Structure 1
Amino acid sequence: MGLTIYGIAASRAVRPLWAAAELGLEFEQVHTPYLGGATRTSEFLALNPNGHIPVLVDRRPDGDVTVWESMACALYVARHHGKGDGSDLAPATPREDAEALRWSFWAVTEAEKDALTVLMHRVAMPAAERKPELADAAEKRLRVPLRVLEQHLAQQQARGQAHVAAERFTVADLCLASVLAWARPARALMEEFPLVAAWLARCLDRPAHQALRAQARKH
């Protein structure tokens, strides 16, 4: 038995890595970068024929389980390795499970593309290759989903809950924050949505995520 995660922290693989770290799981990380051909070997393609990281392999008594797609990997880790009793990030109720599912899918469909554009054209790409006009347009589009999240967080606050699905940090926060973290370089945009900004800071300041950021800087 054992859990293996293929990928690096400076990629979408941060999602299952973060989930496993939050749960204090023992797991093997196979450092597999998305550049340089590591995901195009026959061995890797046997795990994920799409040739993308992350890939998660869970060796269980009833047989190995292989999962790809970063959100699916993170949700799987929480659901099948968390306690599910309200003491960790695993969903403890049908409502919490629903929130994790809907905000994870929402993050991918409504925010990820534009958040990544902000990251790349504000800070990640070499300055000479950045196109500020693309970042400007992405930030303008992000106002729509961020307004939706701001309203949701206000409703949660009225219920006495500080996070997306509950009072405690859950996999719903993890999946959503892993996407919106890319939009943080848009400081003016973040200032427009103070509840989102404060919630995002709480998520990203967690020790497990900070440790992964430090790992990402080394590779």
Structure 2
Amino acid sequence: MLILHGVTRSRASRVIWLCHELDLPFRQVPVIQAYRLADAEAEDAPLNTRSPDFLALSPAGAIPVIEDEGLVLTESLACTLHLARKHGGPTGPQDYAEDALMGQWSFYGATAIEPDALTVLYLHDRTLSEPEDAGLVAEAAERLVRPLKVLEDHLATHAYLIGGRFTVADLNMAEIVRYAQNYGPLMEPFPAIRAWLSACQDRPAFQAMWAARLAEPE
């Protein structure tokens, strides 16, 4: 059985969503981020990203990690792309061209969108109590306009990113765009993205992942 190391309130959510899409059984080991703990190295600390047992799997101390029939794999996008190739059916690539395009869209999301989307996620809710963060959010949102316009233009004429169907590329991108989706001033000009994101998040597999995420402590 696939083993997934990482709490659901992390990038492990991408792998969990995909496992539900694939009806792929998995065992989750709830490794928590060390920064969320008062003392990650205390004797009674829960298993976390600084725990020696976890560092043996992930020397970088990052979640998620999967163990799949002897393969130990880190990096969430590497994990989802691997599982989609191996088990994907319609969710995975049907040929080499689709495989390349799934990598292209996934890495575009990770490099061009994710860093600034995370800034929006982490700082937007703090702007009322810490007004100086408002400038950082506005700058991040301004940088996101160009890459989101690329995504918007594609989705304006395509229901999904590749092959006219939901694939792992949509899953990876949707989980990245989700970080900024509640920032109205940024998302309002992109109706195709908003409709596509809603369709992705209406899927039963996303809803199953999200319910598990909400059930975890913040």
Shared fold per TM-score greater than 0.5: yes
Match of 1:139 in 2: 141
Equivalent position of 1:31 in the other structure:
30
- Which amino acid is the alignment partner of residue 178 of structure 2? A
Alignment match, 1:186: 183
Partner of 1:48: 58
- 2:99 aligns with 97
Query: Which secondary structure does the structure 2 equivalent of 1:39 belong to?
Result: coil
One-letter amino acid of the structure 2 residue matched with residue 128 of structure 1:
S
Question: Do the aligned residues in 2 keep the contact of 1:122 with 1:185 (CA within 8 Å)?
Answer: no
Residues 168-193 of structure 1: per-residue CA shift (max 9 Å, x gap): 11000001111000011111221201
TM-score, structure 2 normalization: 0.88
In structure 1, what is the Cα distance between the partners aligned to 2:22 and 2:127? Answer: 36
- Is 2:38 aligned against 1:3? no
Aligned residue type for 1:24:
D
The sequence identity of aligned pairs, in percent, is 43
Match in the other structure for 1:159: none
8 A contact 1:96–1:165 mirrored in 2: yes
**Structure 1: gaps (5+ residues):** 157-161
- Superposed, 1:73-152 pairs within 5 Å as 73-83=79-89, 88-123=90-125, 128-129=129-130, 131-152=133-154
Q: What letter is aligned with 2:27?
A: E
Question: Normalization by structure 1: what TM-score?
Answer: 0.88
Cα deviation 1:86-139 (Å, max 9, x = unaligned): xx311112232122100111111100011011111123x595357122111111
Aligned counterparts of 2:29 and 2:130: Cα–Cα separation in 1: 31
Which consecutive aligned stretches of 4+ in structure 1 deviate over 6 angstroms post-superposition?
none
Aligned ranges 1:5-20 → 2 under 5 Å: 5-20=4-19
CA distance in 2, matches of 1:217, 1:127: 24
Query: How many angstroms apart in 2 are the aligned matches of 1:65 and 1:126?
Result: 43
Q: Tell me if the contact between 2:20 and 2:208 (Cα under 8 Å) persists in the aligned partners.
A: no
- Whole-angstrom distance in 1 between the partners of 2:207 and 2:196: 16
Distance 1:129 1:6, change over 3 A: farther
- CA RMSD of the aligned region, Å? 1.6
Give the equivalent residue in structure 2 for 1:201.
198
Contact 2:149 2:190 in 1 (8 A): yes
Q: Residue 65 in 1 paired to residue 71 in 2?
A: yes
Cα distance in 1, alignment partners of residues 162 and 156 from structure 2: 12
Change beyond 3 A, Cα 1:8–1:127? farther
Unaligned runs of 5+ in 2: 41-47
Cα distance in 1, alignment partners of residues 6 and 215 from structure 2:
14
Question: Is 1:175–2:172 an aligned residue pair?
Answer: yes
My pick for the range that moved more, 32-41 or 194-203, is 32-41
- Which residue pairs with 2:43 in the alignment? none
Task: For residue 179 of structure 2, give the secondary structure of its aligned residue in structure 1.
Answer: helix
Distance 1:126 1:212, change over 3 A: farther
Contact 1:58/1:65 (8 A) holds in 2: yes
Instruction: Please tell me whether the aligned partners of residues 4 and 65 of structure 2 are also in contact (alpha carbons under 8 angstroms).
Output: yes
Instruction: Provide the aligned length of Structure 1 versus Structure 2.
Output: 204
The answer to whether the 8 Å contact 2:6/2:30 transfers is: yes
SS of structure 1 residue aligned to 2:2: strand
